[in-house]
């Protein structure tokens, strides 16, 4: 492999240099924010960390995960993130293991976009644009598995283009592996992915006589989806209602890149849009000049059909953005996710970067500049979040192994995130210490672990819908009797609230965070 890379570098050194720059800058763009924060301000990530820790310590009775949870790996098959994080946690602290797993999943966006562009016979370095989306709104809601699935969707469609061009066993197997990984990453993305593959196959059909290879590649995933459909838990069986809502067009910028208070993100998004469109115009002009100088023919039939397929896939996800509901059963923010998918697939409709590396260099550097603008902004906000949660980190470090922890956020303000990054933050305590939490995603039955339904079981009191958003519903004399430790966020000491139970005493407080213990 190294010998082949050396040959490529010797044959086209500038091309190799540009590819290396793209990889290095993209890695910098994805890694840097994680280096300035212990707990990233991603809303759902603490809960994902707690589930990851359950997989990591499942067979350790001192963490008490089997006492309260049971596995349903096929019922809610979002396994890949948790298993990858648990694997990293064998050698790393859980916070770093989860951040590394998150980094891997976010990196699937530019990698998948690069494979997608390659399948379209476009320059793979165009995929760096996806690193911008990696720091968008969906990331800061904590939809990491969904975004990893988007990267796999892009990758799968790109491989399908390659299979339709020349069906080999290797390409068909790769398509099958990517599709199965998508199923076990985020099952909700499989149906639109299959439609995207059908669009690709039908658009390229006249030029792809061996299109059956695509069907063979996705057959295992279709079989898994059918079996899951009849075996899925009731929490994932909500009826689907569709309705067009044109007013959503005005919300597109917010759902793409607006996670923090203020308007600082909007100019960055606008600049990135200007850069992408400017590079597209520049690339189109460079291709036209090259055609006149070298008398190249007009775009091939394959190129035109591939572009048509890309536009149809974009139309599919734009349509889903305007017709899907906001919530579908326990899945929230359903329709807002689709516009990000549409924008990434729109890469296939843009002109490829110039073939001449001297002409390609300024276009690629412009795209990388736009990506690093987002990284700098996010890194600054992460550093601010780190300072604001220092007290929380210090109190969590005081907890023993396997505490029964009730957490009450009497005040959820104080962080700059529009995605309410504090709401599940205390779940990091379970990730790092095990034990029990007063609220957990397992209550919905839509994750690979759920609360036990058979003995032996030691399960926290059930919580109503929206419990985490309404701290007043946490009654210390009823539900609170189950817990021995309480972590509270409030601007003033909540002693009056805890006075109803004389066995509860203040242990410590740091800033707006207060720690109580039952004696």
The per-residue pLDDT for range 219-228, each reduced to its tens digit, is 999 999 999 9
Tell me which of 10 and 317 has the higher pLDDT. Answer: 317
**Residues sharing a CB contact under 8 Å with residue 18, sequence separation 6 or more, in sequence order:** 125, 357, 360, 361, 364
41-87, pLDDT tens digit by residue?
A: 999 999 999 999 999 999 999 999 999 999 999 999 999 999 999 99
**Is pLDDT of 2 > 50?**
no
Residue 516, pLDDT score: 97
**Is pLDDT of 373 > 70?**
yes
Residue 88, pLDDT score: 98
**Is pLDDT of 105 > 70?**
yes
Other Cβ atoms closer than 10 A to 294: 7
CB of 140 within 8 A of CB of 259?
Answer: yes
Mean pLDDT of 329-356: 94
Distance CA 115, CA 152 (A): 10
Under the banding of pLDDT at 50, 70 and 90, the label for residue 300 is confident
Q: Say which DSSP state 266 is in.
A: H
Residue 297, pLDDT score: 46
Distance CA 375, CA 139 (A): 13
Produce one character per residue of 388-406: b if its CB has 16 or more CB atoms within 10 Å, e if not. Answer: bbebbbebbeebeebbbbb
Radius of gyration of the chain (CA): 25
Residue 14, pLDDT score: 87
* Predicted TM-score of the model (pTM): 0.94
148-172, pLDDT tens digit by residue?
A: 999 999 999 999 999 999 889 999 9
Q: Say which DSSP state 352 is in.
A: P
**Is pLDDT of 207 > 80?**
no
Query: Distances from the Cα of 388 to the Cαs of 96, 381, 515, in angstroms?
Result: 19, 11, 17
CB of 56 within 8 A of CB of 83?
Answer: no
The DSSP bridge partners found for residue 504 are 518
Residue 464, pLDDT score: 82
Tell me which of 484 and 411 has the higher pLDDT. Answer: 484
Residue 59, pLDDT score: 96
Report the SS3 class of residue 294. Answer: helix
Distance CA 141, CA 44 (A): 6
Other Cβ atoms closer than 10 A to 356: 13
**Is pLDDT of 470 > 90?**
no
**Is pLDDT of 264 > 60?**
yes
- 384's tokens: 């601010």
Residue 411, pLDDT score: 84
**Is pLDDT of 291 > 60?**
no
451-460, pLDDT tens digit by residue?
A: 998 888 899 9
Residue 419, pLDDT score: 86
Other Cβ atoms closer than 10 A to 448: 22
Least confident of 95-109, 110-124, 280-294, 305-319: 280-294
Q: Which of 77, 93, 76, 85 is nearest to 45 (CA)?
A: 85
Check the CA dihedral 187-342-304-358 and report its sign. Answer: negative
**Is pLDDT of 295 > 60?**
no
Distance CA 339, CA 317 (A): 7
Report the SS3 class of residue 488. Answer: strand
The DSSP bridge partners found for residue 517 are 485, 505
């Amino acid at each position: 492999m190294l010998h082949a890379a050396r040959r490529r570098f010797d044959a086209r050194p500038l091309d190799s240099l540009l590819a290396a720059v793209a990889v290095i800058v993209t890695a910098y763009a994805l890694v840097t924010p994680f280096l300035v924060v212990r707990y990233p301000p991603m809303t759902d990530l603490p809960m994902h960390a707690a589930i990851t820790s359950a997989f990591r310590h499942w067979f350790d009775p001192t963490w008490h995960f089997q006492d309260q949870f049971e596995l349903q790996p096929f019922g809610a098959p979002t396994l890949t993130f948790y298993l990858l994080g648990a694997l990293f946690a064998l050698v790393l602290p859980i916070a770093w293991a989860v951040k590394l797993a998150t980094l891997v999943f976010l990196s699937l966006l530019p990698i998948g976009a690069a494979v997608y562009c390659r399948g379209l016979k476009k320059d793979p370095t165009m995929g760096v644009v996806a690193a911008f989306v990696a720091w968008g709104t969906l990331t800061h809601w904590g939809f990491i598995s969904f975004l990893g699935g988007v990267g796999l969707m892009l990758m799968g469609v790109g491989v399908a283009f390659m299979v339709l061009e020349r069906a080999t066993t290797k390409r068909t197997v790769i398509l099958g592996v990517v599709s199965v990984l998508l199923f076990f990453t985020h099952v909700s993305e499989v149906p639109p992915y299959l439609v995207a593959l059908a669009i690709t196959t039908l658009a390229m059909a006249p030029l792809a006589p061996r299109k059956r290879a695509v069907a063979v590649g996705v057959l295992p995933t279709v079989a898994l989806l059918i079996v899951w459909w009849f075996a899925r838990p009731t929490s994932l069986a909500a009826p689907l209602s569709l309705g067009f809502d044109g007013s959503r067009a005005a919300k597109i910028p917010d759902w793409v890149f607006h996670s923090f208070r203020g308007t600082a993100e909007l100019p960055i998004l606008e600049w990135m849009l200007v850069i992408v469109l400017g590079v597209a115009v520049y690339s189109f002009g460079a291709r036209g000049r090259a055609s006149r100088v070298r008398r190249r023919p007009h775009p091939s039939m394959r190129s035109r059909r591939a572009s048509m397929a890309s536009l149809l896939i974009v139309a599919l996800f734009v349509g889903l953005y305007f017709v899907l509901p906001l919530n579908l059963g326990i899945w929230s923010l359903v329709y807002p996710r689709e516009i990000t998918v549409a924008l990434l697939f729109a890469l296939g409709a843009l002109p490829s970067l110039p073939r001449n590396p001297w002409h390609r260099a300024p276009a690629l550097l412009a795209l990388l500049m736009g990506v690093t603008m987002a990284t700098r902004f996010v890194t600054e906000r992460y550093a601010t979040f780190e300072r604001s949660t220092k007290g929380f980190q210090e109190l969590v470090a005081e907890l023993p192994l396997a505490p029964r922890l009730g957490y009450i956020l009497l005040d959820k303000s104080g962080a700059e995130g529009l995605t309410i990054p504090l709401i599940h933050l205390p779940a990091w305590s379970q990730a790092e210490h095990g034990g029990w939490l007063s609220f957990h995603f397992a209550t919905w039955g839509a994750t690979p672990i759920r609360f036990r339904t058979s003995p032996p079981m030691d399960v926290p009191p059930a919580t109503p819908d929206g419990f985490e958003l309404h701290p007043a519903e946490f009654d210390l004399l009823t539900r609170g009797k189950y817990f021995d430790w309480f972590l509270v966020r409030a601007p003033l000491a909540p002693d009056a609230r805890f006075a109803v139970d004389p066995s509860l005493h203040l242990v410590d407080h740091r800033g707006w965070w207060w720690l109580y213990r039952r004696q």
